[in-house]
Amino acid sequence: MTHAPESVPEVETARTGPARGVDPEPTGSAGAETREPAASPRQDPQPEQEPQDFYGWLMRSYSRMDQGASDEAWEAAQKALQLGTQEPDLYVPLCQQFTPERRRLLAHAAMQVTPPSENAFQLLWVEVALSYWYEGNYHEAVEEYQTILKQKDLDPALVGVLENSLGLSLEAAGRYQEAEERYLATGNPEAAVRARARSGDVAGALALLEQGIGPAEPGIHRALDATFRGLLGLPIPDLAARLEALEAFPDDWVYNDFMAGVLLVRGQRIEEGASRLERFLEACRVHSKEWGITLRWEAGIAEEVLRILYGEGESHQDPSPEDEEAQISAPDLPGSSG
């Protein structure tokens, strides 16, 4: 996935003309004749000069977008594209500031004036795929990524990103088996295990872990194994040790909050577990644009566990340990059947 472009400082344009305000009342001695101040000629604001080259229109587009004038930013971007540049990499951040449809249109247009031999051509193609992702059109995103990966002379640094993006797009499109196969073929077994679980086959995902397929980090591997066991209502050997190993990686991806939430609930640390699951759900909401719906399975489980813990439509109150154990261990809990 491409990173968002760095923000461009807004270009302040000089303004001419009188300052706004009320002229002060004239002063003088009592009875003295007061005279109206001489009217000073007013100067009309000078019209903003039109940019003369690509870079000028580029900065105009950034400036207008910063000001919230997206239509003017779009017009400036099109003017910049018409003039062209010898640095086609600049087309990429120009596209990224717009809504998905405009992002795609501008990227397509920029590709027409960028030689395929340029790295920028590949990056612009990625922008097309990303535009479909941000629209939630995951099947189209899959098609674009698959087509890009068929091209020759791809930047080696870009291939891994494209492969991962294709896998995520397949998952978001509900094509979990294809995603799993893609992940395994490109050396990402951890993602393959998670794709298997998201397909509803949690037992199959657990079987992969038991075969040694999954996260390379032993602590995360054992934590994920325990998470699937918890969702299936199976006993979890050394739960405390596994949770401790997981907590040793606080800077790992937000998925840690999901795993920790499930394990903490299983370990009767209800309040802490609920807090981690709520934090996970909040991250899903905040980053829904970037992540799409790839975490919908985990989010559904987190929401269901919280409903069980708090009671549907009731205020948040921790259930008794006996009730909680019976609920979380039930075989028909979220995750046991997908």
Nearest CA to 259 among 283, 225, 288?
225
Note whether residue 59 is domain-resident. Answer: no
Angle, helices 321-328/296-310, rounded to nearest 10 degrees: 150
Q: How far apart are CA 306 and CA 165, in angstroms?
A: 31
Candidate from 3-7, 74-78, 248-252 with smallest mean pLDDT: 3-7
CA torsion sign for 44, 50, 51, 53 is: negative
pLDDT at position 96 is: 96
Q: How far apart are CA 54 and CA 146, in angstroms?
A: 32
Encode pLDDT of 86-139 as tens digits: 999 999 999 999 999 999 999 999 999 999 999 999 999 999 999 999 999 999
**How confident is residue 18, by pLDDT bands cut at 50, 70 and 90?**
very low
DSSP classification of residue 7: P
Domain region containing 281:
217-338
Note whether residue 191 is domain-resident. Answer: no
Q: How far apart are CA 191 and CA 215, in angstroms?
A: 8
Cβ(47)–Cβ(15) under 8 Å? Answer: no
HSE of 12, CA atoms in CB hemisphere, 13 A: 3
Report CA 95 to chain centroid distance, whole Å.
17
Candidate from 22-31, 190-199, 329-338 with smallest mean pLDDT: 22-31
pLDDT at position 43 is: 55
pLDDT at position 319 is: 40
pLDDT at position 312 is: 59
Note whether residue 36 is domain-resident. Answer: no
The structural domain count of the chain equals 1
pLDDT at position 159 is: 94
Note whether residue 97 is domain-resident. Answer: no
DSSP classification of residue 293: T
Q: Which tokens in the block code for residue 326?
A: 């019976």
Phi, psi at 168, each rounded to 5°? -65, -40
Note whether residue 76 is domain-resident. Answer: no
How many H helices and E strands in the chain?
A: 17, 0
Candidate from 67-76, 147-156, 190-199, 205-214 with smallest mean pLDDT: 147-156
Q: Where are the alpha helices (DSSP H) in 173-217?
A: 176-185, 189-198, 202-210
